[in-house]
Amino acid sequence: MTAVGKTVIVGGGTAGWMAAAAIARAIGTDHHEICLIESDAIGTVGVGEATIPPIQDFNAFLGIDEDDFIRETKATFKLGIEFINWRKPGHTYFHPFGVYGRDFDGIPFQHFMLRGLKDGVAADYGLYNLETMAARVGAFARTSKGAPVGYAYHFDAGLYAHYLRRYAERRGVKRIEGEITDVTLNPDDGFIRSVTLKTGAVVAGDFFIDCSGFRGLLIEQALKSGYEDWSKWLPADRAVAVPCATPAGDILPYTRSTAREAGWQWRIPLQHRIGNGYVFSSAFISESEATDTLMANLDGEALAEPRVLKFVTGRRRQSWVKNCVALGLSSGFLEPLESTSIHLIHAGVIRLLGLYPKSGFVPAVIDRFNQEMESDYTTVKDFLIAHYHVTERDDTPFWAYCRNYDPPDSLKARLELYRSCGQVMPTVLELFKDTNWFAILMGQGLVPDDYHTIADRLPDDELRLRLDEVRRQVAARLADLPRHGDYIAKIINP
Ligand code: FAD
């Protein structure tokens, strides 16, 4: 076995620079060389601006100052996602980044809330969740009454990549600009030996990280990992995206997802603009119709020409093959419905750091990495499918298709469990917890048949008192929050 002394990262989008920054931070560049190759001519995918709360851990791991990051990436805060028309036209619900109430007697609050809903002593379950209530009135702060608020960010993807690039270059990462035209494998073991640029320059390395985007330059084109296609359950295969000007008034502290005829439209508010896009299935609507729908549903003047992106939902069969690991779009694509792609990069990078090769490539290490990546992708996939499949909609061919298809067995089992007792019991490694599933399934109109038996032990009066107490606490914390726009303004102009 030979020492792994040089890592070559191919690609400088969000994935490439997140990997470069984290490896430079953890492994360092004193005894280990890191270089990143990116092509300005090819560019990056240029979308990917909504995140989920663990991004805070990634930035904290890098030691990034949060206020500096907010200023430099034109970020706003995100309390969750508002889903409009998903269950049925005219219906709205919210998926918050925080729990409902608090556990009673060791049992999650949702069981008591479900009993309250059944008994008619609880009505709107959003009243028991601070993030939902704050989103309704456009309020935000990172803490209220001394306790943390659940949040993530919306940020400008290009500015975030630049931010991380500066961070990584300061720590010794070498950047090479140029287009890779060839990948050379060792004839004996098939490991990647080097990549060749259009200029003729050859860049050799011991370990390669493929962050080349959808094309999967190393992991697929050179190493033929294979791709598992999930488009029968997640049939969207295109997105048309356009930024627009911010309307006068406050900046919403959440992402909005509006279901449309053959997919859904995102609205992601940044400080300086709003990101918009229509994710759609080309089997059910044409590109020009989707573009017209998007352009007719903007809150402000379009700031660029609409751009169409094509994708196939699924994942690379193996994220790590020989001496190459794929991160980001080269390792798979799940549509941005729950803003999970950047998180999957984060999860992959941290996992990789834990298993970083030192003196060679051990099959058990590679297998472990691949198993965990597979688990990340498949569990997120099921969560996304639930949004489409658990719906009352069948008013367009697209929605009728989604409602009526046969979902994966893993999701079927999960829905059956939820129906029977109001929880899905995810494993500790799963990204989406019971609260997330509860928010989505209730929002989509699936009310469990029953709840935990302990919730029945409380006398009626006691249940009412406890539910009222939680509502009062949420209302008191809400009253403590400023307007989101005012909060950001103070960070920008301290
Ligand atoms: P890219 O951005 O495509 O970067 C690829 C890099 O490889 C570039 O630097 C390119 O120059 C380089 N490269 C490629 N080929 C070569 C070559 N031959 N030679 C040299 N360099 C090369 N994620 C979220 O978390 N939240 C969201 O809200 C979200 N929204 C999305 C919306 C859409 C429509 C899409 C398609 C994706 C969205 N994503 C979202 C996913 C997110 O955009 C990506 O996960 C993220 O940007 C990472 O992309 P990447 O770095 O893997 O690829």
Catalytic site includes residue 78: yes
Indicate whether this model's pTM tops 0.95. Answer: yes
* Mean predicted confidence (pLDDT) in 291-304: 97
| 37, 10 contact by CB (below 8 A) | yes
Strand-pair category, 324-326 with 207-210: parallel
Contacts of 314 (CB under 8 A, 6+ apart): 227, 228, 229, 230, 231, 332, 333
Which segments within 360-419 are labelled E, that is strand? Answer: none
Give the pLDDT score at 163: 98
In the chain, ranges of CATH 3.50.50.60 domains: 6-47+54-75+155-228+317-378
Report the percent of the chain where pLDDT is more than 90.
94
| 106 pLDDT more than 90 | no
Contacts of 315 (CB under 8 A, 6+ apart): 227, 228, 230, 331, 332, 333, 334, 373, 374, 377, 378, 381
Q: At 62, list the tokens.
A: 């890098």
Determine whether the shortest distance from the Cβ of 257 to ligand 1 is under 6 A.
no
Its CATH architecture, for the domain 6-47+54-75+155-228+317-378, is 3-Layer(bba) Sandwich (3.50)
* Mean predicted confidence (pLDDT) in 318-331: 98
For the segment 389-404, what is each residue's pLDDT rounded down to a tens digit? 999 999 999 999 999 9
User: How much is the CA Rg of the chain, to the nearest whole Å?
Assistant: 23
Distance CA 85, CA 242 (A): 21
Atom from ligand 1 closest to the CA of residue 345: 45
Give the pLDDT score at 250: 80
Distance CA 110, CA 470 (A): 12
Catalytic position from the list 74, 78, 322, 381:
78
Residue whose CA is at the smallest distance from ligand 1 atom 27? 48
Determine whether the shortest distance from the Cβ of 269 to ligand 1 is under 6 A.
no
Report the percent of the chain where pLDDT is more than 70.
100
Alpha carbon of 135 to ligand 1 centroid (Å): 29
| 425, 479 contact by CB (below 8 A) | no
| 91 pLDDT more than 90 | yes
Which segments within 6-99 are labelled E, that is strand? Answer: 6-10, 33-38, 76-78, 80-84, 92-96
Alpha carbon of 333 to ligand 1 centroid (Å): 10
Determine whether the shortest distance from the Cβ of 348 to ligand 1 is under 6 A.
no
Of 169, 153, 168, 20, the C-alpha closest to 74 is 153
Please state the ipTM of this predicted complex.
0.99
Q: What is the DSSP letter of 200?
A: S
Q: At 80, list the tokens.
A: 């969750």
Q: What is the DSSP letter of 99?
A: -
Which helix (H) or strand (E) segment holds residue 390: the answer is none
Determine whether the shortest distance from the Cβ of 180 to ligand 1 is under 6 A.
yes
Give the pLDDT score at 105: 81
Atom from ligand 1 closest to the CA of residue 180: 19
Determine whether the shortest distance from the Cβ of 39 to ligand 1 is under 6 A.
yes
Strand-pair category, 238-244 with 76-78: unpaired
DSSP SS3 for 313 = coil
Alpha carbon of 58 to ligand 1 centroid (Å): 18
Give the burial class of 54: count Cβ atoms within 10 A of its Cβ; 0-12 exposed, 13-18 middle, 19 or more buried: middle
| 131, 79 contact by CB (below 8 A) | yes
Give the pLDDT score at 78: 98
Q: Mean pLDDT for the chain? A: 96
Atom from ligand 1 closest to the CA of residue 40: 11
CA distances from residue 217 to 178, 207, 381, 384 in whole angstroms, order as listed? 14, 15, 24, 27
Residue whose CA is at the smallest distance from ligand 1 atom 30? 48
Alpha carbon of 166 to ligand 1 centroid (Å): 19
For the segment 23-42, what is each residue's pLDDT rounded down to a tens digit? 999 999 999 999 999 999 99
For the segment 53-62, what is each residue's pLDDT rounded down to a tens digit? 999 999 999 9
| 2 pLDDT more than 70 | no
For the segment 215-246, what is each residue's pLDDT rounded down to a tens digit? 999 999 999 999 999 999 999 999 999 999 99
3-state helix, strand, coil in the chain (%, to 5): 40, 20, 40
DSSP SS3 for 70 = helix
- Sheet of 332-333: strand order equals 227-229, 314-316, 332-333
Alpha carbon of 215 to ligand 1 centroid (Å): 10
Give the pLDDT score at 123: 78
What is the secondary structure of 263-279 as a DSSP string? EEEEEEE-SS-EEEEEE
Distance CA 20, CA 34 (A): 8
Alpha carbon of 15 to ligand 1 centroid (Å): 7
Atom from ligand 1 closest to the CA of residue 181: 18
Distance CA 31, CA 251 (A): 46
Alpha carbon of 213 to ligand 1 centroid (Å): 5
Give the pLDDT score at 131: 98
| 248 pLDDT more than 80 | no
**2-6, 11-15, 457-461, range with the lowest pLDDT:** 2-6
Pocket test for ligand 1, best of 18, 47, 159, 210 (most atoms within 8 A of CB): 47
Determine whether the shortest distance from the Cβ of 234 to ligand 1 is under 6 A.
no
What is the secondary structure of 422-448 as a DSSP string? S-----TT-SS-HHHHHHHHHHTT---
* Mean predicted confidence (pLDDT) in 200-221: 98
* Mean predicted confidence (pLDDT) in 110-135: 93
Give the pLDDT score at 476: 97
Q: At 95, list the tokens.
A: 């998926």
Question: What are the beta bridge partners of residue 38?
Answer: 177
| 1 pLDDT more than 70 | no
Of 108, 78, 109, the C-alpha closest to 96 is 78
Atom from ligand 1 closest to the CA of residue 239: 34
Confidence of residue 122 (pLDDT cuts 50, 70, 90): confident
Determine whether the shortest distance from the Cβ of 446 to ligand 1 is under 6 A.
no
